[in-house]
DNA sequence: TTGCAGGTCATTTTT
DNA sequence: TGACCTGCAA
């Protein structure tokens, strides 16, 4: 085979070793996607495997689309017949076919996070619980965590450890919420994201004939980004591959950055134990970045304890040093970045699309955007509020959802009184409670509104249900586009938006038109056989990526580090390299996972092909407050030989606010502190909190008190200050020196 | 039921 | 800071 000549030895091994369990450890930039696509091509060409028997699972829509595209170029249209997609989409597809076995309708709705949270809020209210204790976010992540560990509500309630946990967290009724939540999802004919995996596990566990069918079908199973799988996903994959044993996982433990979503790095670390005859290939040569960048990235990740041994190297030239840039404020940081991009574009004849600005949190994009706009530099933001998360889009989608599946409670709540038709919260509650108490399907209650509501509200609901019934007839007769247009018009939604003449209102109107366009495209696409609205809804339920790559304009890419995985740019700025921001304070306090933050930094820096910039600000507006910042510890951990401190920072401008606040470091402190002679990074002593660390109530914290901090370790309170509404504690820590912490954020354990 | 004013609260990453 | 909630008047 000709195309195999392009591969190096380990890559070739990975491609040709098709049978039996295989694990490919692929460092950043080592040609992972290429190996995967060639492997599939090889299976089809050289082994004569029917594409229909090959299953490849990816993590993101983007990765799936990329792979599909590359395989089609390599193999041709035949490749379309392979099963390829995200875990969620593939299993949703299977669940739609087999839904009856689980008692679900095949057109079940998929609830997104907003729907789930809203349902939880409703439940908490119904159970008359304190919504400050049972916060939707917290409850949902608890339930989600349970599902990812395959703990159903019954098992959850019966598990003494879980129970003890919940009681310790003062949330003893969590198990009950979980039960009700599942019940309501079921009645609404809906599954949440985690259910797609959980229910697939149930399906395969309880229906061996179904399992067997898919086991026979998928002779070859491949999993991309294996480090990001959770137990639930892993178990499904393992079951599917149990007959043929042709399972190939590709991943990089150093890029495992989704633990918050249940990804378990142990899956990749322990894979060998599950398959003793495992064939392991390591792809260690990096083709993407300069030596400087590869080594700097390695120097950070080397600090992690949990990792598979591998040495990522490159034969690329050294390239330029990494630039370390200090700015006085977040706005100045933006200006500096914009200036550099402007200069580099001119000097090196680069395009906007050669640059990426990466940040830890979406909210950081603002200062960057402002600066880029001022310099007239074209940019695009990836992620953030995606198209399908906008209110107006969700509203129209909710109408469509409710028409197709009129027991969908969350869709119902969205549309019943929008646009306003005089059905207030009380009436909505009566309907929902009616359904609940009489154990009736929501749609039946809506159709018999008069038995539950008084005259006026009752007739309003009657009008509503008549309208929905009319929609249902349209949906049956017409294609998705025509039906959706009618729904948009006759629901009054389009008129409502049209009458709003503000700029945002105009935008919203255009967004709805945009959604209708998307539906039109869907209908016109000959690949889609089923043109019904229901089919369209199923198609896009799992589509959260709005990067259709349609914008051909040349733009600088702004995105979070997470969103950058799998991409590459000539020059990359990692901005906001400040302690508590990157690494993130939240992350460190909730899970004390410095290692994952390191991996995150590794992902960020290895996106750069030619040049990497690390920038930080000494002060930054966060939560509407001006905070003083310290440079990130990662700047200390990077091999200092790779870094040059940028001199361009000398900015005379000092925002008034900073001067007033007397910014520490605004005088004298240049660059980061480093021991000059040794040129060795300073070793920070990282504190491991005591195992049962629980933050204390710090309302009455006094000076001289001994405390423990999950990150800074032990310390003694120096003084407590009140500044406006904020209380600040200055604490002398054993290893980290004096720190001033905002008490509302700091998690401290008081040692008595 | 609706709309407004004022208050509170959290503030990460994504299928 | 801004998203969301609550309470009150119409």
| pLDDT tens digits, A78-115 | 777 889 999 999 999 999 999 999 999 988 999 888 88
Does the active-site annotation cover A466? no
Phi, psi dihedrals of residue A612, rounded to the nearest 5°: -125, 135
pLDDT in tens, A272-305: 888 989 999 999 999 999 999 999 999 998 888 8
Query: Is 90 exceeded by the pLDDT of residue A586?
Result: no
Higher-pLDDT residue of A507 and A188 is A188
> Picking from A124-128, A351-355, A487-491, which range would have the lowest pLDDT averaged per residue?
A124-128
Nearest to A108 by CA among A27, A195, A48, A172: A195
The answer to whether A455 is annotated as binding is no
Q: Which residues contact A536 (CB under 8 A, 6 or more apart)?
A: A480, A484, A519, A522, A523
- Confidence tier at A743 by pLDDT (50, 70, 90): low
Average pLDDT over chain A, rounded to whole? 83
* A450/A457 Cα distance (integer angstroms): 9
Strand B nucleotides in reach of protein CB atoms, 7 A cut-off: 1-3, 9-15
For residues A341-355, average pLDDT: 94
The answer to the question of whether A28 is labelled as a binding residue is: yes
A397 vs A114: CA distance, rounded Å: 13
Q: Which residues touch strand C (CB under 7 A)?
A: A 121, 131, 621, 623-624
Distance CA A98, CA A106 (A): 8
Q: A192: which nucleotide lies closest, measuring CA to C1'?
A: B15
pTM to 2 decimal places: 0.80
Q: How many Å apart are CA A578 and CA A65, to the nearest integer? A: 34
- Residues above pLDDT 70, as percent of chain A: 87
Strand C, nucleotides covered by protein (CB < 7 Å): 1-2, 5-6
Mean pLDDT lowest among A391-400, A424-433, A595-604, A612-621:
A424-433
A385: left (phi over 0), alpha (psi -120 to 50) or beta: beta
Is residue A137's pLDDT more than 90? no
| A74 or A685: which leads in pLDDT | A74
Give A424 CA → C8 C1' in Å. Answer: 17
Q: Can you list the alpha helix ranges (DSSP code H) found in A326-364?
A: 330-348
> Considering only CA atoms, which of A441, A444, A402 is closest in space to residue A537?
A402
Q: In whole angstroms, give the CA distance from residue A68 to residue A76.
A: 10
A30 marked ligand binding residue: yes
Q: How far is the CA of A151 from the C1' of C6 (A)?
A: 37
Nucleotide nearest to A112 (CA to C1'): B15
Q: How far is the CA of A663 from the C1' of B11 (A)?
A: 23
Pick out the nucleotide with least CA–C1' distance to A421.
B1
Point out the catalytic residue in the list A98, A224, A392, A410: A224
Estimate in Å the CA A46 to C1' B13 gap, whole number: 41
Structural contact between residues A731 and A741, judged by C-beta atoms closer than 8 angstroms: yes
Q: What's the confidence (pLDDT) of residue A665?
A: 34
8 Å CB contact between A746 and A710: no
Q: How many angstroms separate the CA of A130 from the C1' of B5?
A: 25
Instruction: Please say if A179 is a catalytic residue.
Output: no
Determine whether A213 is an active site residue: no
User: How many Å apart are A123 CA and B11 C1'?
Assistant: 25
**How distant is the alpha carbon of residue A67 from its chain centre?**
20
Answer yes or no: is pLDDT of A661 > 60. no
Alpha-helix runs per DSSP H in A127-240: 136-148, 153-158, 160-168, 174-187, 193-206, 208-217, 231-240
For A73, A173, A325, A340, the CA distances from A166, given in Å and listed in that order, are 52, 8, 45, 51
Q: DSSP readout, A636-701?
A: HHS-GGGEEE-STT------HHHHHHT-TTSSS--S----TTT-PPPPP-PPPPPTT--PPP-TT-
Neighbours of A273 (CB within 10 A): 9
A29 assigned to a ligand binding site? yes
To the query of whether residue A225 is one of the catalytic residues in this protein, the response is: yes
Q: How many residues are present in chain A?
A: 752
Nearest nucleotide (CA of A86 to C1')? B15
Q: Look up residue A128 and give its two tokens.
A: 């008359």
A334 is in an annotated binding site: no
Is A360 annotated as catalytic? no
* Distance of C1' in B8 from CA in A649, Å: 39
The nucleotide whose C1' lies nearest the CA of A361 is B12
Checking if the pLDDT of A46 tops 50, the result is yes
Q: Which one of the listed residues A225, A228, A332, A595 is annotated catalytic?
A: A225
Torsion, Cα of A141, A145, A148, A152 (10° steps): -100
A31 is an annotated ligand-binding site residue: yes
Between A732 and A662, the higher pLDDT residue:
A732
Active site residue A683: no
């Amino acid at each position: 085979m000709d195309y195999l000549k392009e591969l190096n030895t380990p890559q070739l091994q990975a491609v040709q070793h098709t049978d039996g369990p295989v694990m490919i450890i692929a460092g950043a930039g080592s040609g992972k996607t290429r190996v995967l696509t060639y492997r599939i091509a090889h299976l089809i060409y050289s082994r004569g495997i029917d594409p229909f028997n090959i299953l490849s699972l990816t993590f993101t829509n983007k990765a799936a689309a990329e792979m599909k595209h590359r395989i089609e170029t390599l193999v041709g249209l035949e490749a379309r017949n392979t099963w390829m997609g995200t875990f969620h989409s593939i299993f949703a597809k299977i669940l739609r076919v087999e839904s009856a076995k689980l008692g679900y309708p095949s057109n079940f709705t998929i609830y997104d996070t907003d729907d789930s949270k809203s349902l939880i809020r409703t439940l908490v209210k119904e159970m008359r619980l304190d919504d400050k204790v049972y916060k939707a976010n917290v409850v949902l992540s608890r339930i989600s965590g349970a599902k990812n560990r395959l703990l159903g509500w019954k098992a959850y309630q019966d598990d003494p450890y879980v129970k003890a946990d919940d009681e310790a967290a003062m949330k003893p009724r969590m198990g009950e919420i979980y039960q009700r939540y599942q019940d309501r999802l079921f009645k609404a004919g809906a599954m949440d994201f985690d259910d797609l995996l959980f229910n697939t596990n149930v399906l395969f566990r309880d229906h061996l004939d179904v399992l067997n069918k898919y086991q026979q079908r998928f002779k070859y199973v491949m999993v991309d980004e294996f480090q990001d799988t959770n137990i639930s996903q892993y178990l499904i994959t393992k079951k599917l591959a149990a007959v043929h044993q042709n399972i190939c996982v590709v991943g990089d433990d150093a890029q495992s950055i989704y633990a918050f979503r249940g990804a378990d790095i142990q899956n990749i670390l322990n894979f060998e134990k599950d398959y003793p005859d495992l064939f392991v290939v390591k792809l260690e040569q990096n083709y993407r970045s300069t030596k400087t960048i590869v080594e700097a990235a390695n120097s950070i990740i080397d600090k992690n304890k949990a990792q598979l041994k591998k040495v990522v190297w490159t034969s690329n030239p050294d390239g330029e040093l990494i630039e370390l840039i200090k700015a006085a404020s977040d706005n100045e940081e933006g200006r500096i970045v914009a200036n550099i991009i402007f200069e580099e574009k001119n000097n090196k004849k680069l395009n906007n699309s050669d640059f990426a600005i990466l940040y830890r949190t979406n909210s950081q994009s603002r200062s960057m955007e402002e600066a880029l706009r001022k310099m007239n530099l074209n940019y695009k933001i990836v992620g953030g509020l995606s198209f399908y998360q906008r209110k107006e889009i969700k509203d129209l989608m909710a109408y469509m959802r409710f028409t197709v599946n009129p027991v969908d409670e969350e869709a119902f709540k969205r549309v019943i009184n929008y646009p306003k038709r005089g059905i207030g919260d009380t009436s909505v509650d009566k309907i929902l409670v009616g359904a609940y108490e009489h154990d009736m399907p929501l749609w039946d209650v809506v159709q018999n509104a008069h038995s539950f509501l008084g005259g006026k509200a009752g007739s309003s609901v009657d009008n509503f249900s008549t309208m929905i019934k009319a929609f249902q007839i349209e949906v049956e007769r017409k294609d998705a586009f025509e039906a959706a247009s009618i729904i948009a018009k006759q629901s009054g939604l389009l008129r409502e938006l049209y009458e709003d003449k503000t700029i945002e209102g105009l935008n919203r109107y255009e967004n709805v038109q945009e959604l209708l366009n998307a539906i039109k495209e869907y209908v016109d696409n000959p690949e889609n056989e089923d043109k019904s609205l229901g089919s369209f809804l199923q198609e896009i339920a799992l589509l959260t990526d709005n990067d259709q790559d349609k914008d051909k304009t040349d733009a600088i890419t702004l995105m979070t580090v997470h969103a950058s995985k799998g991409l590459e740019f000539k020059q990359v700025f990692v901005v906001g390299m400040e302690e508590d921001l990157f690494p993130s304070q939240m992350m460190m306090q909730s899970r004390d996972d410095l290692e994952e933050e390191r991996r995150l930094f590794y992902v960020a820096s290895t996106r750069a092909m030619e040049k990497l910039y690390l920038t930080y600000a000494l002060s930054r507006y966060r939560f509407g407050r001006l905070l003083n910042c310290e440079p990130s510890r990662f700047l200390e951990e990077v091999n200092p030989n790779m870094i040059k401190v940028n001199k361009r920072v000398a900015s005379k401008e000092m925002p008034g606010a900073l001067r007033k606040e007397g910014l520490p470091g605004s005088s004298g402190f240049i660059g980061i502190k480093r021991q000059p002679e040794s040129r060795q990074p300073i070793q920070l002593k990282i504190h491991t909190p005591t195992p049962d660390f629980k933050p204390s109530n710090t309302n009455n914290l006094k000076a001289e008190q001994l405390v423990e901090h999950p990150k800074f370790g032990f310390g003694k309170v120096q003084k407590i200050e009140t500044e406006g509404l904020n209380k600040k504690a200055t604490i002398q820590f054993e290893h980290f020196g004096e720190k001033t912490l905002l008490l509302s954020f700091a998690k401290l354990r008081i040692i008595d």
